Amino acid sequence: EVDLVESGGGLVQAGGSLRLSCAVSGFSFDDYAIGWFRQAPGKEREGVSCISVSDGRAEYLEAVKGRFTINSDNAKNTVYLQMNNLKPDDTAVYYCAFAPVFMASMWKQNGFMTAWGKGILVTVSS
């Protein structure tokens, strides 16, 4: 069973940076996808970024392009989301999620990700 644990959230001022980590366990193959999603109060969950850990292909939500970077450390089975120039609109609970395959056209679709972390709060103050 795949287990995902997020860390690195917290409170930061607008313009600041945070790095979220997603530790992955319970999957024995080297080819899978990890996505970061977020849900702000009163809003729908949205896909922020996704990466293929085997070859580094990545996708980003338009609103975070140029500010957020996703990368993986396969030796540590950990995927990171570096978030720079944070804005109050980035305030949300962030979740990492697992899929056994990377598909650029599908990763945001409901049901594509098969395992989820519990989420971690990111608060950006103005």
Per-residue pLDDT of the chain (126 residues; tens, 9 = 90+): 999 999 999 999 999 999 999 999 998 778 899 999 999 999 999 999 999 999 999 999 999 999 999 999 999 999 999 999 999 999 999 999 999 999 999 999 999 999 999 999 999 999
Measure the CA–CA gap between 25 and 115, rounded to whole angstroms.
Answer: 11
- Longest Cα pair distance anywhere in the chain, in angstroms? 43
**Listed residue (1, 86, 38) closest to 50, CA to CA:** 38
Partners of residue 97 on adjacent β-strands:
35, 116
Say if CB 97 and CB 117 are below 8 A apart.
Answer: yes
Measure the CA–CA gap between 86 and 49, rounded to whole angstroms.
Answer: 15
Task: Report pLDDT for 103.
Answer: 94
